[in-house]
Structure 1
Amino acid sequence: MANKSTDILHVERSDILRSLRLQSSFTQKQIADKLGISREKVVAVENCHLKSMLALELDTIKNWWNLCRSRADMETQKQFAKLMRKELSI
């Protein structure tokens, strides 16, 4: 069984990326195909598995955001922006 990350930024990132996908009505397979990653990787990210969270590239996060942001509610958009400011220390 994979270890879950307890890092607050990982947990927030996982929750927000899941919310973005769900609000955009993408299945895990659909978002994986569009991002060029495996469905298993999407599952691991959404379940906040430590190894996957550490390996998640900024480009993948950016592309996930670009695919989903138009359908995301305002609160999720704000949460994503706040998280990115924290992660990038800006």
Structure 2
Amino acid sequence: MLFTGAYDRAWVPQKPSPPLPTFLARLFYQMWATAGQYTDPGMDYYEQKYQEMILKNLRNKAHAQGLEIVPISPEQQNTLSSPTLDT
């Protein structure tokens, strides 16, 4: 049996993985087309994708409840504070 590692573990909960011959064919073609060169996109790429996924899920949840997500500008973010009784 061929061990495909994290490929199978990462995708099993979300969707069924393609059959092993399809997976191997795609892997072979990718290696053949790029002459075996692999470029790691880096941690920043994966962090950005994760943040986009979190924001997308938050927007979907807000939309389901009839709400809208509004971004806060950096200037407003610095002036926001919890309400106090100082007047």
Same fold (TM over 0.5): no
- TM-score of the superposed pair, with normalisation by structure 2: 0.26
Q: Which of structures 1 and 2 has the larger relative contact order (alpha carbons within 8 angstroms, sep 6+)?
A: 1
